[in-house]
């Protein structure tokens, strides 16, 4: 999907297609479970935590956040960590 729809020649864990209009949030979030498992091993976290992170990441894209620059990546990671902390606190 990453290659077909986004012309990227690499694997990714999550792809978000944002169809939001005005105040209506809408879109598709596709997650590669295989890539999530590989990333979990790479980052030393369990697969469930990494899956939650990429789910959160996809939702933030639907909310208008991007991660095309180093500064945007930093902001996105901070927001992911905050949301993940809240999620795990409620669990």
**Higher confidence at residue 89 or residue 27?**
27
**Higher confidence at residue 45 or residue 7?**
45
Class of domain 2-90: alpha beta
- What values do phi and psi take at 10, rounded to 5? -155, 165
pTM score, whole prediction: 0.85
How far apart CA 57 and CA 80 sit, in angstroms, is 6
Q: Please tell me the predicted confidence (pLDDT) of residue 12.
A: 81
How far apart CA 67 and CA 76 sit, in angstroms, is 7
pLDDT band (50, 70, 90) for residue 72: very high
pLDDT band (50, 70, 90) for residue 74: very high
For the chain, what is the radius of gyration of the CA atoms?
13
| Domain spans, the chain | 2-90
The SS3 call for residue 85 is helix
């Amino acid at each position: 999907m990453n290659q077909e729809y986004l012309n990227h020649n690499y694997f990714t864990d999550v792809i978000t297609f944002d169809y939001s209009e005005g105040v209506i949030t809408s879109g598709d979030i596709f997650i590669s479970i295989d890539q999530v498992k590989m990333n979990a091993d790479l980052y030393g976290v369990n697969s469930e935590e990494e899956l939650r992170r990429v789910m959160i990441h996809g939702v933030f894209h639907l909310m208008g956040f991007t991660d095309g620059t180093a500064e945007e990546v930093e902001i996105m990671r901070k927001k992911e960590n905050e949301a993940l902390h809240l999620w795990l606190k409620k669990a």
